[in-house]
Amino acid sequence: MTIFVPAEGSGTPTGVAGVYDYNSLKQAVQDWFARSDLGNWIDYFIQIAEADIYRDIFAQNQGKGVQPMETAFSSTTIGTGTPVPAGYVGMKILLVSLNGQTFEVERRTPEFIYTQFPGQSACGVPAYFTRMGQNFVFGPYPDAAYALTGIYWQKSAQLTSSNSVTWIVNTIPTIMLAATNRAAARFNKDEEGFSLWDSLYQQQLASFILADKAEELSGSSIAMVAA
**pLDDT of the chain, 227 residues: tens digit per residue:** 444 444 444 455 544 568 999 999 999 999 999 888 888 899 999 999 999 999 999 999 999 999 999 999 877 778 666 889 999 999 999 999 998 899 999 999 999 998 998 877 788 899 999 999 999 999 898 888 899 999 999 999 999 999 999 999 999 999 999 999 999 999 999 999 999 999 999 999 999 999 999 988 775 544 433 43
Q: Which of 145, 178, 204 is the last residue of a domain?
A: 145
Note the pLDDT of residue 79.
67
Residue 40 within a domain: yes
Is 161 found in the same domain as 194?
Answer: yes
Residue 16 within a domain: no
Residue 9 within a domain: no
Is 166 found in the same domain as 58?
Answer: yes
Which domain does 83 fall in, by range?
Answer: 78-145
Is 167 found in the same domain as 127?
Answer: no
Reported pTM: 0.82
Q: Which of 116, 145, 174 is the last residue of a domain?
A: 145
Is 87 found in the same domain as 194?
Answer: no
Is 137 found in the same domain as 82?
Answer: yes
Sign of the dihedral through C-alpha 103, 96, 128, 117: positive
Q: Count of domains in the chain?
A: 2
Residue 1 within a domain: no
Is 100 found in the same domain as 129?
Answer: yes
Q: Which of 88, 123, 145 is the last residue of a domain?
A: 145
Is 133 found in the same domain as 164?
Answer: no
Is 57 found in the same domain as 112?
Answer: no
Note the pLDDT of residue 5.
44
